[in-house]
Amino acid sequence: MSGNFNFKVSLIVAAVLLLPMAQAATISKAEYKADKARISEEYKTGKAACNSQAGNAKDICVEEAKGKEKVARAELEYSYSGKSKDQTKVLVAKAKSTYDVAKQKCSDKAGNDKDVCVQEAKASETAALADAMVGKQIHEATKEADEDKRNADYKVAVEKCNSLAGDAKANCITAAKAKYDIK
């Protein structure tokens, strides 16, 4: 369990850290509402399918259905907003859902095997959550650096405008503000 889970966590981390944290293609409000309804229906169907099982197998099935719903909702929010904070929420939802399922699977074990299983699941969750936060911090640092560069470039443009006079100077500064998105 641990090796396979760690591999999945590594793939998630790689996706966050290697792909640019650009905004996602946003979807329309109508698509958002339709997808939200679809996710709810898929959850109900998934949970109903668990009724044919018994004991811990049923509990695992229900936990998997809940996890799929939470991740799908987080992905939907990210698709709708395109915000990096919602992308981080997707990674957090995946980490927590994977942990909840892994912890439930540990219920079939006893004694030290169960304790080890729970600790492995918790360690994997902690690592995945830490990686999600690293991705968030990288995005925030990149955003701040981009803003610093933009402000520096704007100051250079304004300094160039200072060599002009009258309307030419005013037009130059207005153009610089527009180019560097300064309010």
Q: What is the pTM of this model?
A: 0.61
Domain assignment present for residue 9? The answer is yes
List, for residues 140-171, the tens digit of each pLDDT value: 777 788 888 998 899 999 999 999 999 999 99
Domain assignment present for residue 57? The answer is yes
Domain assignment present for residue 151? The answer is no
CA 101, CA 61: separation in Å to the nearest integer? Answer: 8
Domain count, the chain: 1
Domain assignment present for residue 155? The answer is no
Domain assignment present for residue 169? The answer is no
Domain assignment present for residue 156? The answer is no
Domain assignment present for residue 95? The answer is yes
Domain assignment present for residue 145? The answer is no
List, for residues 32-50, the tens digit of each pLDDT value: 999 999 999 999 999 999 9
Backbone φ and ψ of 49, nearest 5°? -65, -25
Q: Residues in the chain with pLDDT < 50?
A: 1-2, 9, 11, 13-24
CA 1, CA 137: separation in Å to the nearest integer? Answer: 29
The DSSP output letter for 19 is S
Each residue of 140-158: b (16+ CB within 10 Å) or e? eeeeeeeeeeeeeebeebb
Domain that includes residue 67, residue range:
2-131
CA 73, CA 118: separation in Å to the nearest integer? Answer: 26
